[in-house]
Each structure stands twice: as C-alpha cells, then as structure tokens.
Amino acid sequence: MVSSDDTQFLALLVHRGLILREVAERVFPEVQRGGDLDRLLAEHTGLSAETIAKWRRTRGGETPELPGYEILGKAGSGGTADVFRAREKKTGKVLALKVLNVDSTRNARTRAAFVQEAKLLEKLDHSGLVKGLGVFKSGSIYFSRMEFVEGQTLLELLDEGHVFDEKAALRVVLSVAEALAYLAQNEIVHRDIKPGNIMLAANGELKLIDLGFAGVVDGADAPAGDTTVGTVQYLSPEQAKGGAADERSDIYSLGVTLFHLVVGRLPFESSDDREVLRMQVMDSLKSPELKSRGLSHHLQYFIEKMMAKDAEARYQNWQELIGDVRSQIEGRDELDFESQIRAKAQRRR
C-alpha cells in the first residue's frame, strides 16, 4: 500500500515541474502494488539516486541547499522567487537569500531581470532600501544575498485588518518618498510601489524590499521586454496605457498606497485586470471613506494630487511632495504638543 508521504512527494514533484504528470501516472500504480518510489522514479526518469534523495531532503527544492549557508526558514514568497532567512556559516551572520524558483530559472528574461535587480541593489546605498550583497549561482540555483530585515510588509499588516491612522500613513509616505528620491537622483524609476514591497522593520524603520521592475527613467530597459510592468492595481494611467514611466508614475503608485493604508481597500477594484487598467485610465477617484472617517483635507489633497490622471497635474518631483508632507507632519506634531500642554493645564485647575 502506498504511503501518504510517497503520495505527497509524488504530487509535489509534479507541482514543482520536476517530473511530468505522465511519469507520475505511470509510477503511481506500481507504488500502490508495493514498488519502491525512489527506485521507480530513477527507472522512469533516468535521474540518479542522489538527485532523488536531494529532492526528498529539500521537498523538491522548496528549501534550497546552498554551500556555506544554513537555511533557517522561509521569510517570504513571490511570483518568481522565494526569500529565506539563512546563516552564513563562515561569519555566523544572518542574511536574506532570495532564490529564483524553478520555473523562473528556465526563463532567460526572468533570469536576466533577477540578476539585474541584484546588481542594482548592490550598487545602491540608502537606509530606506534593503541592502544588496551580490548575486550568485550554485549548480542550477540562482540566488542573491541581502540584509535580513525582521518585520512585516505593509500588505501583511493590511491583510491582518490593520488600518493606518493619518499620522502613521503620512510617515510611511515621507519615508518611502525619501528612498524614491534617492533612486530618482540615480536616474532610476521603481515602477512597482505597493504595500507588499514596503517592509516595516521591527525597529520601526521602513524599507523598500523589491526592485524587480526598476530601471532607468526613460523606460528603455523595462524588465523582460515588457512595456507595461508593475502591479495592475497600483499602476499609473500612463503605465496602464503601456507608456514609459518616470518619477511621477511612482508618485501615483505611492498615492494609491496611501489610499490603501488609510481606507483599507484599493481605489479601483475588479476581478478582471483589464477592467482595473481601464478604471486607472478612465474612472475618477471616489471614496466616501475619505470624508466619513474624519481624515483631514490635507490628506485628501495629497491623495488627489498624487493620483491625478494627468501626470502634469501631479507632484512633479519627490522634493515637492516631501516638502508638503513633511510640513503637514510637523504641523500635526506641533498641534499635538500644544493640545497636550492645554490638557495638562486644565488638569491642574
């Protein structure tokens, strides 16, 4: 009788694209009759016993084996790569290893984009960006090293039901805008600003953790040869139409992020990505929550200006946005301080 472990292992190999479904369908009846799964896999695929044993140890490559590193656990997963917390055996330092998944490794364009992102991160140095520490290849595995950031993405917090108050949301915008201003100074546009790419570290710092779609301002080097890149729900109208992105496009995406943080939902929602793209281009911004939740006129102004359909009507650069947001935060802090003083004075009476 086939064991549940063997059944799960066989299904995992098919799911991860390591063996064909047809092979699994031929092997399974023989395993049911008492055949040894590993021996049968070797016979039907020509793979070595060592390879099959490695698949067993690593759950079909879900947990990579990389010389010089002890994998401590999975820290995150995306469409093209998984991120693992790992200890470098030589130094004892804990790092994040971003490992390209099997399907993406087979795609030459995706491999090139992965290497491009890692090399870009390695060149950049800003407290608001996760620090890249190089890209490497071990056997067929492509991986990059990065500083490990303990914390959660803003999307994870939103998915847990957390809605950010106005002050916290503006501090997010200010911090991310400062990191993006640094990218702009290096003639780089991010192209994929969203809560899932912003990490709130355990120490309270905010960091951009993914530059997979980043490129030069004129858009000539869009990853994987695409004209429309990024995450549909956060794309600017010009990106939705397949046009080139500049820093005003990132400002729009950060505006969508600000809306998501304070309202708890996206401004344009549909199960059809094409419909979302149409809405980004054609539909006006509507949100009764912006008024009903007691949010300030200043916050509404920031969202509307950052998300203007016409790029010329938005903030034209990060310095302009940073100046306005910083002034608003400082004004709120001053008002909070004055209200505390008044409250203390009233209690003394």
Residue 202 half-sphere exposure, CB side, CA atoms within 13 Å? Answer: 4
The mean pLDDT value of the chain amounts to: 86
The residue that leads in pLDDT, 292 or 124, is 124
**From-to residues of CATH 3.30.200.20 in the chain:** 69-147
pLDDT tens-digit series, residues 156-180: 999 999 989 999 999 999 999 999 9
From CA 201, how far away is CA 205, in angstroms rounded?
5
The model's confidence at residue 341, banded by pLDDT at 50, 70 and 90, is very low
- What's residue 337's pLDDT? 45
- What's residue 233's pLDDT? 86
- What's residue 224's pLDDT? 42
Q: Residues 128, 131, 137, 140: what is their CA dihedral angle, to the nearest 10 degrees?
A: -40
**From-to residues of CATH 1.10.510.10 in the chain:** 151-335
Q: Where on the phi/psi map is residue 145: left (φ > 0), alpha (ψ -120 to 50), or beta?
A: beta
pLDDT tens-digit series, residues 182-215: 999 999 999 899 999 999 999 999 999 888 778 7
- What's residue 349's pLDDT? 52
Question: Structure pTM?
Answer: 0.78
pLDDT tens-digit series, residues 98-120: 999 888 999 999 999 899 989 99
Assigned fold of 151-335 = Transferase(Phosphotransferase); domain 1 (1.10.510)
What number is the average pLDDT over the span 87-101? 95
Q: Residues 176, 302, 307, 267: what is their CA dihedral angle, to the nearest 10 degrees?
A: 90
The model's confidence at residue 220, banded by pLDDT at 50, 70 and 90, is very low
What number is the average pLDDT over the span 323-346? 67
Query: Is residue 342 predicted with pLDDT exceeding 70?
Result: no
The model's confidence at residue 86, banded by pLDDT at 50, 70 and 90, is very high
If you count DSSP H runs as helices and E runs as strands, how many of each does the chain have, helices first?
14, 10
- What's residue 347's pLDDT? 53
- What's residue 338's pLDDT? 46
- What's residue 227's pLDDT? 44
What number is the average pLDDT over the span 320-344? 72
- Residues marked as catalytic: 192
pLDDT tens-digit series, residues 262-288: 988 888 766 677 777 787 776 667 766
Task: Give percent of the chain above pLDDT 90.
Answer: 50
Task: Name the strand (E) or helix (H) holding 201.
Answer: strand 198-201
CATH 1.20.1250.40 assigned to 69-147: no
DSSP 98: E
